[in-house]
Homo-oligomer: A and B are copies of this chain.
Amino acid sequence: MIRLERVSVERALAWIDAATGCLDTEETAFETPANRILAEDVRAQNPIPPADCAAIDGYAVCAEDSLGAGAYNPLAVAAGTVEAGQALPVGMDAIVPFDQAEPNEAGGVVLVEPVAAGASIDRQGAVASADALLIAAGTRLTARHIGMIAIAGVARVPVIRRPRVRLVVARYARSGEPFDGNGPMLRALVDRDGGIVTDAPLADAFAPGADLVLVAGGTGRSHEDRSVAALSACGKLDLHGVALAPGETAGFGRLAGGTPALLLPGAPAACLWNYELFAGRAIRRLGGRDPALPYPSRPVVTVRKIVSAIGMTEVCPIRCLADGHIAPVASFAEAGLMAAIQGDGFVVVPEASEGYPAGAQITAYFYDERQIRAEPMS
């Protein structure tokens, strides 16, 4: 029987941080970097706008032509129709809104008041001068960044390489749970955190070629727990056991080449929370992302006592009440993975705490950003 030493969650997090750093940079086409992490600052190639252009839809005119125009002195001037964002036609230096001029048969317009040079014009470089910083390295790129990158004329975008995560489901045919939930769940989690999953059998788990190895199952203390023995044979098991409930049998080690390998318990709820606290953090750090838990949080009041054992960091499922307060629901020990379905979120009770009395203000994490919304916009 393998001896299990339970280290604190803090020590396990420090191990993760020491074992993982941001990966190298690759280039992607400007259309495709959604959710990628920008590796280098994006700067304007040219001024934005690249030339003086219309700020509004209207008629482009030459302001000098309008001198003297008035209600009793309508002036016909040359004009061109422009849309907001369009460059000014040559010789034009002001825009008149459509409803302040009348087109005439000569292709120009009739003005009844003068217009100032520069009126309704966006000047060249007004938004950004050439070489100005547009988007800082480290930004997670979303649709609006992609639009800006395209406008700026940047064709190839430097992004952090996505972590290659090798996933091994070491024990999935347990008679108590005939269907493996860990493989599909972990694939979706790794994808969420920006990693690329490849599946492998346990025999190939610790070969080179991955940025991180995840093994689900086989971490316990029985004779059939082969993951721990396999990693010990192919590399080094640094930590085995962590004071986390659910999920105390996790293992943390490295392959001969230094690649981190994490052994996740096979019980689904234990697998989930070891992933969220440790494996997900490793993947987010490798990929240059914010390493924190990817769930919004807010201060809440619990209306019922939350009980937790001293000596273990415990993840306690909660549900959100109509008044914004929260209450605990059946624990992961009682309901397994179902506790993560029935609840709206969770509270992380630190190792040194016995939990919280009713009425205590605590920080809760929520699965869904809607639980954080100030006023639902329906």
- Interfacial residues, chain A to chain B (CB-CB below 8 A): 1, 30-31, 34, 48-51, 53-55, 57, 81-87, 98, 103, 122, 126-128, 134-135, 140, 142-153, 171, 174-189, 191-192, 220-225, 249, 265-268, 270, 272, 290-299, 333-338, 340-341, 363-364, 367-370, 372-378
Contact = CB atoms under 8 A, between A and B. Distances in A.
B297 A185 contact: no
A225 B151 contact: no
12 contacts: A48-B336, A49-B176, A83-B220, A84-B265, A87-B175, A143-B272, A148-B181, A153-B178, A290-B370, A292-B370, A292-B378, A293-B377
Given A179-B153, A292-B376, A337 B85 contact: no
Nearest to A299: B374
Nearest to A290: B370
Given A292-B377, A341-B145, A372-B296, A84 B188 contact: no
B272 A83 contact: no
Given A143-B188, A184-B146, A268 B151 contact: yes
A107 to B, nearest CB: 11
B377 A188 contact: no
A186 B375 CA distance: 26
Given A151-B337, A298-B374, A299-B374, A221 B180 contact: no
Given A142-B367, A335-B127, A225 B268 contact: no
A146 B341 contact: no
A356 to B, nearest CB: 15
A222 B101 CA distance: 13
Given A140-B368, A143-B272, 14 more contacts: A34-B192, A48-B338, A86-B175, A122-B336, A127-B335, A143-B188, A146-B185, A147-B272, A150-B185, A290-B370, A292-B377, A296-B372, A363-B374, A363-B375
Contacts of A55: 333
Given A181-B151, A340-B144, A87 B176 contact: yes
Most chain B CB inside 10 Å of its own CB: which residue of A30, A31, A184: A184
Closest 10 interchain pairs by CB? A147-B185, A53-B176, A143-B188, A147-B181, A150-B181, A87-B175, A151-B181, A87-B176, A81-B222, A296-B369
A373 B292 contact: yes
